[in-house]
Amino acid sequence: MFSYVSLEQRVPSDHPLREVRKVTDVVLHTLSPELDALYAEAGRPSIAPEYILRALLLQVFFSIRSERLLVEQIDYNLLFRWFVGLGMDDAVWNHAVFSKNRDRLLTA
C-alpha cells in the first residue's frame, strides 16, 4: 500500500501536540550534547533518548497505564508516531527493550 500524504500533513495544523512538539524540540536540542554522550561506541543500537522522552510525554498526556500499551499505541497511532519522530514504516520497539532503555536513561 502506498500513501502520498506524509505524517506531517496528517496532523491537523491546530492540534495541541504541535505546540508541545515545538517546545520539546527546543528542549531536546539544548540537551543534545548530554544525550549524545549516552550512546555507546559499540554494541547493539539502542532507542534514541529523544524518542524515549517524547514517548514518555505521550504516556503522561494520554494516561496510558503501561509501557506495553504505550509501545502498542505508538505502533498503530499515526499521531503518536509523528510526535515521537518515527515514520510510517519505521519499526517500533519491543516494550521490554523500551523499559530497559528508559531505566538506563533515567540512571544516566
DSSP structure string for 65-98:
--HHHHHHHHHH-HHHHHHHT--TTPPPPPHHHH
Is residue 37 a part of any domain in this protein? no
Contact 98, 55 (CB under 8 A): yes
| The total number of structural domains that make up the chain | 1
Q: Is 21 inside any structural domain?
A: yes
- Is residue 98 domain-resident? yes
pLDDT (0 to 100) of residue 44:
62
Is 3 part of any domain? no
Q: Per the domain annotation, does 7 fall within a domain?
A: no
| pTM of the predicted model as reported, rounded to 2 decimal places | 0.86
Please indicate, yes or no, if residue 4 is contained in any of the structural domains.
no
6 domain residue, yes or no: no
Which stretches in the chain have pLDDT values below 70?
1-3, 39-45
Q: Which residues contact 50 (CB under 8 A, 6 or more apart)?
A: 28, 35, 85
Task: Tell me, yes or no, whether 22 lies in a domain.
Answer: yes
Burial state string for 6-34 with b = 16 or more CB within 10 A and e = fewer than 16: ebeeebeeeeebeeebeebeeebeeeeee
The Cα–Cα gap between 3 and 17 comes to 23
Q: Please give the residue range of the domain that contains residue 56.
A: 16-31+47-107
